[in-house]
Structure 1
Amino acid sequence: MAADTFRKWRRRFLAKRLDGLIDEPRPGWPPTISVDQMEAVVVRTLEEIPKNATHWSRKSMAEHSGL
């Protein structure tokens, strides 16, 4: 970790304790899918095997999940 980064996080922690360690909003477009949708894809990827395949491809998971 760079010294400047460490100092920034230390200052935030000293000022707000654990609340200071919550990540600040990042620039860019807001997510287009919800946290629940992301979680469902991760769980399905880890716990299910698609028919006629050994693993999920990006395309097969997208088609299956509708994303």
Structure 2
Amino acid sequence: MLQFTVPGMTCGGCANAIRKSLAAVPGITAIQADPPDRRLAVEGDVGADLIVRTLADAGYDATPIA
């Protein structure tokens, strides 16, 4: 599971937009967005760089959590 901080994810609408963007990425099998903590968890066969780029295209900065 890859985890990220997403400072701009402040509400349920943001979380839905993020889920929608990531749902289009092949290989992702699960997405958990937590707006109050501004954290995102993604499962699947996909790299962190692709997730960061996809979120940037959707207007959100994301930083992987080591």
Could you tell me the TM-score, scaled by structure 1's length? 0.33
Relative contact order, higher structure (CA 8 A, sep 6+): 2
Could you tell me the TM-score, scaled by structure 2's length? 0.33
Structure with the greater alpha carbon radius of gyration: 1
Identify the structure with the greater helix proportion.
1
Identify the structure with the greater strand proportion.
2
